[in-house]
Amino acid sequence: HSFENKYNKIKEYVNKILTDAGKTDVVVRITIHEAMEEPGEYYGEFINTEILEITGSFECKNPTWASKLTNINKVEISHTYMENVSWLKDLRKLRWLELHLSPIKDLSVLSDHKYIHILSLSDLEITDISFIEQYQRLKSLDVVGCPIKDYTPILRIPPLEQLMIDE
């Protein structure tokens, strides 16, 4: 019962920020940790958000509201049941992406993200990393615990500062 009261107070605070004219531009980081329900669409109103973290939130499966956050440059997704990351396609300023311990199978939506500098993928269900061939600015790549069938796309990108694979 106290968790529900705490959650409702947080929700009231977020709604207050949204109703105060012009206050949605002050939020630069959204962290959703262990959410008990799908986060509300109102998160999409924080248009100046630069960092989005979703961890341990098994109910956050398809945060389509995040596609409105076009200023995001860093996304971290970890310990979720999220399978669909198509909402990432609209985040054109994305430079840093970490995806961990989630049942994500397809990252082809990322092929248009030519400006990613840091990419960390671990314990996903992806088998294909050919989308990275477009990443001419990639500096760091981690691919660990993923059933990748072909690592040769790594040979078709400029030299990396850091590479970690478990093959």
Kindly report the pTM of this predicted structure: 0.83
Q: 122: how many CB neighbours lie within 10 A of its CB?
A: 17
26: nearest Cα among 35, 38, 17: 17
Gap between the Cα atoms of 146 and 106, Å rounded? 12
pLDDT at 26: 65
Rounded percentage of the chain residues whose pLDDT exceeds 90: 58
Gap between the Cα atoms of 106 and 65, Å rounded? 20
Q: What are phi and psi of 94, to 5 degrees?
A: -60, 125
Gap between the Cα atoms of 140 and 84, Å rounded? 24
pLDDT at 141: 97
Half-sphere exposure of 34 (CA within 13 A, CB side): 2
Cα dist from 68 to 7, 34, 112, 143, 152, whole Å: 24, 22, 17, 28, 34
DSSP code string of 109-147:
GGGG-TT--EEEEES------GGGGG-TT--EEEEES--
Gap between the Cα atoms of 26 and 8, Å rounded? 21
Burial of 124 by CB count in 10 Å (0-12 exposed, 13-18 middle, 19+ buried)?
buried
pLDDT at 143: 97
Parts of the chain with a pLDDT under 50: 21
pLDDT at 21: 47
Gap between the Cα atoms of 111 and 134, Å rounded? 6
